[in-house]
Structures are given as C-alpha cells and as structure tokens.
Amino acid sequence: MSLPRNGALKQLEQSHMKIGMIGAGNIGGALAPLLIAAGHQVDVANSRGPASLSDFAEKTGAHPVTVEDAVRDKNVIVVTIPLHAIPALPAGLFAKVSPETVVIDTSNYYPRERDGAIAAIEGGMMESAWVAREIGHDVVKAFNMIYAKSLAELGKPTGDAGRLAIAVAGNDATAKATVISLLDAIGFDGVDAGSLEDSWRQQPGSPVYVKDHDAAGVRKALSEASPERTEQWSATPNSPGSFDAPA
C-alpha cells in the first residue's frame, strides 16, 4: 500500500476538518449545518453547557460539548459570541491550542446596543485584534459582515453568477487560505481583505457590511471604506442600551 503524498494528505485534511464552535446563536445556527453538509465534524459549545444544546444538535447535526472540548484538538475553531462575552470565556482557554489551529472571529462591536464601552476598542484598537489579545491566539476575521439569514440561505455552487462573497481579514496568509477554502465549500467566495489592522474596512457601518455583494462588489465596497469610528459606533456614558433603544 502506498501512502498519500504530502499534497494528497493536505487535501484529505481539508476535506474533513475537526471544527469547534463557541456560540450556538444566529451565526452558529446558520454555520453549523453548512459545515456539516460540507463533510466536516462540528463540536459546539455555549455558556450553559452541552445539555442545553440538544435541540440545536437535533436541528444542525452538531455535537454538543463544553467550551473546553470545543477548543481541544481542532483544525478550526469558530468564536461566535457577543463581543462583550469574550472576557467571560474561561481564563487560559486557548493556552493549549496549537498556533496552527485557525481561529475564526465573527464578532462585531455594538457598543450602544449590546456590548457597552470596551476601552481598548474605543481607543482605536481593531475589534479582532482585541479578541486575539483577549484569547491569546491569532484570529481570522470572517462572517462578521454577512447576516446570519443570508449565510443560511444564499450560498451557491462555485462559479454561479451572483455568488455572494465574504471578506476575510487576518495576519496569517495560510490561515486566511484555509478560511477561504472553507467558504468555497459552503457556498461563498472569500475575498482577502488584508490584515487585522485593515479590518475597519469590514466593520459595522462600512459599505460592505450586511450588503450581500458578490466578490467584485465586496472588493469595491472594501476599497470605499473610511477608517474613522463614527458616533453611531462609539459608546456613550450610558451604553449599553438595547437593540430597540441604543444608548
């Protein structure tokens, strides 16, 4: 029997990845069935423990686990929880996660509605750079600029006209390539949006944010973005309010 060559091994790894997901809300619920349909194993965790995820497991096919197990021995980990909850993750959760594991951060900063003031971000730090610092592991920012409903319903086969695209920002080219190939497998084009420092181009309020563009449209919208944080996306002394009554 001959062993597969390196390239073939790589392909094998890509075709069946062990994916951990922290967060089983709108984005987790949209993403898990797509990743499972693409042949990947998805272990999912929330803040309330695996027993609370039986309905989610039945609907999506994901395997409920603790947050500790969601990060153990994975090729890819998706962190998809409200930004303000990042510091509530167990201390040292990512300490034993390999630097080669690709960690995807889907989060957005909604200071007035949900997250309250996060001083480092108000001071100019990029949201995903803050997430990376908080968890102690590099991240790739993806899925933040598409609505969960579009993610769940609007995927198309590779090459179809009007296929939607998702911006992918990060500092590690190999990690971004993994995310872009995952996107392709679940029905979306990935557009390299530069480094985490460039990720203001895909933040809430930017031209690309929740607009359902194809790849050319995403590239154009990214190029038209403006870096300043507007008042609408900055905290006030009373933040957070709610999505119905932002403070």
Ligand X SMILES: NC(=O)c1ccc[n+]([C@@H]2O[C@H](COP(=O)([O-])OP(=O)(O)OC[C@H]3O[C@@H](n4cnc5c(N)ncnc54)[C@H](OP(=O)(O)O)[C@@H]3O)[C@@H](O)[C@H]2O)c1
Q: Is 232 in the site for ligand X (CB under 6 A)?
A: no
- Would you state the structure tokens that stand for residue 244, as one six-digit string? 């119905």
Give the number of residues in contact with ligand X, rule: CB under 6 A. 26
Q: Is 126 in the site for ligand X (CB under 6 A)?
A: no
Nearest to 98 by CA among 66, 78, 75: 75
Q: Is 148 in the site for ligand X (CB under 6 A)?
A: yes
Minimum Å distance from CB 130 to ligand X? 12
Q: Is 81 in the site for ligand X (CB under 6 A)?
A: yes
**Contacting ligand X within 30-49 (CB under 6 A):** 45-48
Q: Is 240 in the site for ligand X (CB under 6 A)?
A: no
Q: How far apart are CA 92 and CA 17, in angstroms?
A: 24
Q: Is 28 in the site for ligand X (CB under 6 A)?
A: yes
Nearer of residues 45 and 185 to ligand X, judged by Cβ: 45
Q: Is 70 in the site for ligand X (CB under 6 A)?
A: no
Residue in the shown chain whose Cβ atom is closest to ligand X: 25
30: buried, middle or exposed (CB in 10 Å: 19+, 13-18, 0-12)? buried
Cα Rg for the chain, rounded, in angstroms? 18
Q: Is 170 in the site for ligand X (CB under 6 A)?
A: no
Nearer of residues 148 and 180 to ligand X, judged by Cβ: 148
59, β-bridge pairs: none
**Is residue 85 within 8 Å of residue 134, measured between CB atoms?**
no
Q: How far apart are CA 247 and CA 237, in angstroms?
A: 8
**Is residue 232 within 8 Å of residue 205, measured between CB atoms?**
yes
The site for ligand X (CB under 6 A) is made up of 22-28, 45-48, 67, 80-83, 85, 88-89, 106-108, 143-144, 147-148
